[in-house]
Amino acid sequence: MSDGPKTVTAAVIVIGDEILSGRTKDQNLSFLAEALNDAGLQLREARMVADVEAEIVAAVNSLRARFDYVFTTGGIGPTHDDITADSIGAAFGLAVDYHPAAVDILKAHYAHTGAELNQARMRMARTPAGAALVENPVSKAPGFRVENVYVLAGIPSVCQAMFHSLKHELAGGDPVRSIAIAVHLAEGTLAKGLSALQENYPDVGMGSYPFYREGRFGASIVARGQVPERLTAAADEIRQLMRDLGGEPIEEEAGQN
């Protein structure tokens, strides 16, 4: 007898005043949501916090206790407002100092480029005591991990490269797959039947998303589940519901969402 699908959860903390001010448009959350699901982790919560140590500490401690993995982005550069390493240290009650391997990585990188490894750049080698490094194939300054918290860069290309470096460490569960079906019917027309289907398929999430296209109203129904057979069966019944109500199902791009 099957024990059912395995669920592994994750949360993301996007750190930075520049995100909250709107000056910088975040790209990391959408990337991580998709990449985590591909790795078998369900992103259950995301927070955006300012460059304030107390707020970062509170978010990290809240989320690391509730989810299997936590990923932070931003705040690990060379400037005074890059306070993530110190904040993670404070969250875990750990001293923060220069990580010997990180120092070696930076020394080798700056010797190769010819740029000066000044005190500001050396800040990027600081981690909480006992942290494991996360490789940075792009600009070399590493991220790090403390227990179930991974600390990544804020620059999207670097964040993505760091994630690809660490994803082999993640112990994922079964990914959530989705099937999206649109129809030119109002949400209110679908609501009663959709509610009944949701009761019959408690293991399949069903979301309704209204649209207005080419002068016509309609709704996209997205079914999500971890068991392919149940997801397929639920989608078939959604299509039949649409036909019964006088609509024609329109298949939309499916994925793992």
Q: Identify the CATH number of the domain in which residue 74 sits.
A: 3.40.980.10
Residue 181 lies in a domain: yes
User: Does 25 lie in the same domain as 149?
Assistant: yes
Residue 141: is its pLDDT beyond 80?
yes
User: Does 33 lie in the same domain as 152?
Assistant: yes
- The pLDDT tens digits for 109-124 are 999 988 888 989 999 9
Please compute Rg for the chain using Cα positions.
22
pLDDT of residue 254: 58
Domain range enclosing 220: 177-251
User: Does 183 lie in the same domain as 154?
Assistant: no
- The pLDDT tens digits for 147-199 are 999 999 999 999 999 999 999 999 999 889 999 999 999 999 999 999 999 99
Residue 136 lies in a domain: yes
Q: How many domains does the chain have?
A: 2
- The pLDDT tens digits for 202-255 are 999 999 999 998 899 999 999 999 999 999 999 999 999 999 999 999 999 854
Residue 197 lies in a domain: yes
Token pair recorded at residue 111: 């010797």
Residue 1: is its pLDDT beyond 50?
no
pLDDT of residue 2: 52
Residue 168 DSSP symbol: G
pLDDT of residue 183: 96
User: How many whole angstroms from its chain centre is CA 148?
Assistant: 14
Helix, strand or coil for residue 211?
Answer: strand
User: Does 182 lie in the same domain as 163?
Assistant: no
pLDDT of residue 214: 84
Token pair recorded at residue 96: 């923060």
Residue 2 lies in a domain: no
Residue 150 lies in a domain: yes
Q: Which among 128, 147, 169 is the end of a domain? A: 169
- The pLDDT tens digits for 55-112 are 999 999 999 999 999 999 999 999 988 999 999 999 999 999 999 999 999 999 999 9
pLDDT of residue 253: 80
- The pLDDT tens digits for 18-45 are 999 999 999 999 999 999 999 999 999 9
Amino acid at 43: L
Distance (Å, rounded) from C-alpha 32 to C-alpha 11?
10
Q: Which among 106, 136, 169 is the end of a domain? A: 169
User: Does 155 lie in the same domain as 206?
Assistant: no
User: Does 158 lie in the same domain as 35?
Assistant: yes
Token pair recorded at residue 94: 């750990």
